[in-house]
Structure 1
Amino acid sequence: MKRNIVIASVTAAALLSGTAVAVAGTQSSSTGAPTTHTTNASGTTARASFSDAAHAALKAVPGTLDSLDRDHGARTTWDAEILGKDGKWHEVTLDGSTAKVLNQHIDRDTDAEDAAEAKALRNADISATEAARKAASSGTVTSVEFDGDRTPVWEVETVKNHKERDLNVNAQSGKVTQAPSDDGDDD
């Protein structure tokens, strides 16, 4: 119902402004989470979803996604860290609108902490995309990062109604919990 209202609203706005707009809802095969793509008159996608960016990053560098974060700098991008099938850490930057790979390189500045992270990541039962799907009911996923220090969890940031929410998804069970506050304030 909500989706139909959104489509009707976008269509009405397009008719009033004379701008051609198309909206398509799809089910992402990589996360199972629904994704919505808004296309403007020039045919360009307005914003790539988490699942779009995750799929593109893993296509560029096959392996295990360690983190994926939307960066709202001068140009919106998705920044991914991947433990490649080659055992090396890769950094991939994707366009925030199209999920097209802008840059990728091997991180040569690795240490013992990275080796421990790789081992914990390989032992995780829940992937980054599964963690994002589990947290998606709390809003739009803007960041997922693996933390294998103590109990392995995926730290997931979501945004809903302009309010950010930090969640933890247990990397073994998939249980979603509210992340502890960084500032000690329980709001």
Structure 2
Amino acid sequence: MKRNIVIATVTAAALIGGGTVAAYASGGDDSASTQRQSNVRVADDRDDSAQDRAEDQAEDRAEDTADDRDDDAAEAAARTRTAKVTAADAIAAALKHTPGTAVAADLDDDGSNVWEVNVVKGDGAEYDVRVSADDGKVLGAQRDDDDDNDGREDLAALKGASVDAREAARAAAAKGAVNDVDLDDDGPAAWSVQTTKGEWKVDLKTGKVTQDHDDQDGQDDRDGDDD
């Protein structure tokens, strides 16, 4: 009789102990699941934080670029106001001194108050002709000895054009005083002209002046920031 009681007691103890182990094991699984969920949340928060930082940095770079462009435009406008010789007249003086095809004219930003006009000869040779912005006198001309085909490529882009650099400068002058004329051959070729009131495209065949789309986008962004 005592032996039966002992066996029953041991069996009960084993069942209780097994239940405890099972309960402990079950509790361990819940803890691991909770830990994994916590780790996932931490990883998600980390990813969101990294994305936010990347977006903030991109916005900062865009704002810095816009600010730099505004500063450059302001400086160019100031230089243009002090120039007594227009871009069109500087181009005419440069071509009289060095015959060829003018492909660019830029009012130097080094404080010298000089127009630098790029002229390409028929053989593709390029010359930088410096013209005083005070009196229109040619100060000198220097051949560009770079071993590239920019000159020939510019002549090819201008083949069949009806509007030259001087005419483009005159056309864009209706949109503000011109401080830079350049041949833009990215996509459909056109004259790219910068004035004190923005950047413009001048059609090579018709001379039609339209606002540069990139400049318009940047202006829209800056206007939106002011709201």
Structure 2: 5+ residue runs without aligned partners? 1-82, 221-227
Q: How does 1:2-13 map to 2 (within 5 A)?
A: none
**SS at 1:53 equivalent:** helix
8 Å Cα contact 2:182-2:192 kept in structure 1: yes
TM-score by length of 1: 0.66
Cα deviation for residue 175 of structure 1 reads 1.8
2:134 maps to 1:97: yes
2:106 maps to 1:69: yes
- Identity across the alignment (%): 35
Alignment-derived partner of residue 166 in structure 1:
199
Q: 2:206, 2:101 → 1: CA distance?
A: 18
The root-mean-square deviation of aligned C-alpha atoms, in Å, is 2.2
Q: How does 1:42-121 map to 2 (within 5 A)?
A: 47-121=84-158
**SS at 1:122 equivalent:** coil
Q: Which has the higher strand share?
A: 1
Q: 1:101, 1:185 → 2: CA distance?
A: 36
How many residue pairs are counted as aligned between the two chains? 139
State which structure, 1 or 2, has the greater radius of gyration over its C-alpha atoms.
2
Alignment-derived partner of residue 180 in structure 2:
143
**SS at 1:185 equivalent:** helix
Q: Which has the higher helix share?
A: 2
Alignment-derived partner of residue 193 in structure 2:
156
Q: 2:89, 2:153 → 1: CA distance?
A: 28
Cα deviation for residue 114 of structure 1 reads 3.8
8 Å Cα contact 1:62-1:85 kept in structure 2: no
**Which amino acid counterpart does residue 91 of structure 1 have in structure 2?**
D
Task: Find runs of 4+ consecutive structure 1 residues off by over 6 angstroms.
Answer: none
Q: 2:166, 2:130 → 1: CA distance?
A: 17
Superposed CA offset, 1:22-60 (max 9, x none): xxxxxxxxxxxxxxxxxxxxxxxx721222211110011
